[in-house]
Amino acid sequence: MRGFMRFVRSSRLLMVGAIAFIITLAAALAAFLCDRLGVGVPWLPSGLHAVSALSGLTAGASPVLHSDMGWQYRHPWWRERLGELGIRQSMSRKGNCLDNAATEQVFGHLKDEFYRDREFDS
């Protein structure tokens, strides 16, 4: 989260998304790398990370919030809050896997590298 907040404060573009994944060593490594790069990867598929990101906006920013079409991003409270803060909402297209293809590809490669040539007891 620390890296995500650093990204929000230093950028005029706010990107928030919810990607559900199993917390594995590969995901932990991805979170560590994203923290170093200043990119956000939430651990929970909820709007909590997005709410905390909104509190870190700098004055004068004109952000665009891009997300998937999850229920938390379509909720009336969320949409009203964005309007109050002057944030333009953008959503990926419904049921279009290509919108998140780049992110899914990164996690796919991380899993490939982590599990290659390994044997597990369970």
pLDDT digit string, tens, across residues 8-29: 444 444 444 444 334 455 556 6
- Least reliable range by pLDDT among 6-15, 41-50, 59-68, 70-79: 6-15
CB 3 within 8 A of CB 34: yes
Interatomic CA distance for residues 79 and 70, integer angstroms: 12
Other C-beta atoms within 10 Å of 82: how many?
Answer: 17
- Average pLDDT rounded to a whole number, residues 28-46: 56
Backbone dihedral angles phi then psi of residue 112, each to the nearest 5 degrees: -60, -45
Round the average pLDDT of the chain to a whole number and report it: 64
pTM score, two decimals?
Answer: 0.40
Q: How many residues does the chain have?
A: 122
How distant is the alpha carbon of residue 87 from its chain centre? Answer: 17
pLDDT for 17:
43
pLDDT for 10:
41
| CA 86 vs CA 50, 60, 62, 64, 79: distances in Å | 15, 10, 7, 9, 11
- Please report the domains of the chain, with CATH numbers, ordered by start residue: 2-112 (3.30.420)
DSSP type of residue 77:
H
The residue ranking higher by pLDDT, 87 or 99, is 87
CB 38 within 8 A of CB 118: no
